[in-house]
A and B are shown apart, each in its own frame.
Chain A
């Protein structure tokens, strides 16, 4: 694994905007950054990232199978009891999942370590599936990178196939916070892929989902929402007014309710408990577990629910080295062993390993000067050399 500085395509911003990638720059700071790329060998990709990704996903599914009907697990995850039947029923119906993204620490030498699983509302899929693929093709053409370069990225084709399988003859609604440029871009891309799969689609703001008096969720045209992709987390749905009506409505959600278990950082100590000393896991404990003392005075503290590094703290020898502000933590925290992110040219890099329909199929790399990856951490393309 290397980080290689390279020239930018002089028209990359225009290319981004013509494809609807309006959030390439956030608050005046680069988000998409092609001043460098990460290079991996094929062996690193296949044996050290792709294979472990499949294995971790399988372990996660095994955990869900245990957790869905076990009150002990559900209480530890602080999932509200009112939603246990919704989650259990979705699992036992085998409600399908579209995608997810594992965040991994990998330095090219040691086994990749699971930092967390973005199982419910992962973003950066457009950048991963489309824009970095376009970067590769154009950069080869323009001799910015070697002609032999490849990329771990079959996300786009697999998404279309997955939508064909998931969608059938249903009309698909895609819902989210459409005022967010990033979220609306992600929704637009997934809508595009669904459309290419032959589905008819409607994009809708999450607040514009209606509830009819017969208990059916509907859109602004009063059309029943049968199949809905949501870029809006389950833990927020549970606390919203319509949350209480989820179980009674026939809407099939993507990601399905059982994914609420995996998007919870409480799975980290639960996985460690189920698969102790697995090479791709880090020791982790719930903060109120006496066994947390095994981590000593150096660990990473993470809320059960948070996103993009919010309220995550790096603690070393009892001193907080870095902490991200945020509104999370009410449900409690876990502690995970410190696995310092690799540092390439003063940039801390995190890998996002994508699964579509439970198949590992792509890679994102985010980097930051800050060791806690956040929403504005830059997306840097990669190649296989």
Chain B
């Protein structure tokens, strides 16, 4: 037999990306690209810079043109 004996899905349809909302906190110097946010203990910490991946499809396929840009092929 050249096929899988058993194919079962346990997660599909239920997976969701998590997102955490963070409020504003007093300023500290975090360096370029980073921002200050409250940490779990209430102390400010430097939030990472985001959005540094993902620009390429917009360069290729544009915005709002009904494009079907996706990373797979």
The answer to whether A and B assemble together is yes
* Contact between A191 and B15, CB atoms less than 8 A apart: yes
* Contact between B53 and A242, CB atoms less than 8 A apart: yes
Task: Specify which chain B residues have a CB less than 8 angstroms from the CB of A129 in the assembled complex.
Answer: 4, 7
The contact string, 1 if C-beta is below 8 Å from chain A, for chain B 1-35, is 11111111111110111111000000000110110
Which size bracket describes the interface of A in this complex? 35 or more
- Which of A42, A243, A327 contacts B61, CB < 8 Å? A327
- Which of A153, A180, A239, A384 contacts B70, CB < 8 Å? A180
Task: Specify which chain A residues have a CB less than 8 angstroms from the CB of B53 in the assembled complex.
Answer: 175, 206-207, 209, 232, 236-237, 240-243
Known: A19-B12, A188-B15. A240 touches B49 (CB 8 A): no
- Which of A207, A219, A235, A375 contacts B54, CB < 8 Å? A207
- Which of A150, A189, A207 contacts B12, CB < 8 Å? A189
Task: Specify which chain A residues have a CB less than 8 angstroms from the CB of B12 in the assembled complex.
Answer: 19-20, 188-189, 192
- Which of A157, A189, A207 contacts B6, CB < 8 Å? A157
A195 to B9, CA, bound (A): 10
* Contact between A327 and B60, CB atoms less than 8 A apart: yes
Give, as a whole number of angstroms, the nearest-CB distance from B33 to chain A: 7
* Contact between B1 and A123, CB atoms less than 8 A apart: no
* Contact between A220 and B20, CB atoms less than 8 A apart: yes
A121 at the interface (CB under 8 A from B): yes
Task: Specify which chain B residues have a CB less than 8 angstroms from the CB of A232 in the assembled complex.
Answer: 53-54, 71
A286 at the interface (CB under 8 A from B): no
A192 to B15, CA, bound (A): 9
Q: Who on chain B is nearest to A136 by CB?
A: B3
Q: Which of A52-60, A69-77, A196-204, A268-276 contacts B (4 or more CB under 8 A)?
A: A196-204
The contact string, 1 if C-beta is below 8 Å from chain B, for chain A 153-180, is 1111100000000000000000111101
Task: Specify which chain B residues have a CB less than 8 angstroms from the CB of A219 in the assembled complex.
Answer: 18
A315 to B13, CA, bound (A): 44
- Which of B1, B8, B47, B51 contacts A207, CB < 8 Å? B51
Known: A121-B71, A182-B72, A189-B12. A205 touches B17 (CB 8 A): yes
Total inter-chain residue pairs, C-beta < 8 Å? 173
The contact string, 1 if C-beta is below 8 Å from chain B, for chain A 211-252, is 111000011111000000011110111011111010000000
* Contact between A177 and B71, CB atoms less than 8 A apart: yes
Known: A212-B46, A327-B61. A203 touches B15 (CB 8 A): yes
Known: A121-B71, A153-B2. A241 touches B55 (CB 8 A): yes
Q: Who on chain B is nearest to A131 by CB?
A: B7
28 pairs, A vs B, C-beta closer than 8 Å? A19-B9, A121-B73, A129-B7, A153-B2, A154-B2, A154-B3, A157-B5, A177-B71, A188-B15, A192-B11, A195-B10, A195-B11, A196-B8, A206-B54, A208-B19, A208-B50, A211-B48, A211-B49, A211-B50, A212-B48, A213-B31, A213-B34, A213-B46, A213-B48, A220-B20, A222-B48, A236-B53, A327-B61
List chain A positions with a Cβ less than 8 A from chain B: 18-20, 42, 45, 118, 121-123, 129-130, 133-134, 136, 150-157, 175-178, 180, 182-183, 186, 188-189, 191-192, 195-196, 202-213, 218-222, 230-233, 235-237, 239-243, 245, 307-308, 327-328, 375, 384
List chain B positions with a Cβ less than 8 A from chain A: 1-13, 15-20, 30-31, 33-34, 46-57, 59-61, 68-73
Nearest 7 interchain pairs by C-beta = A242-B52, A210-B48, A123-B72, A307-B73, A236-B56, A207-B54, A180-B70
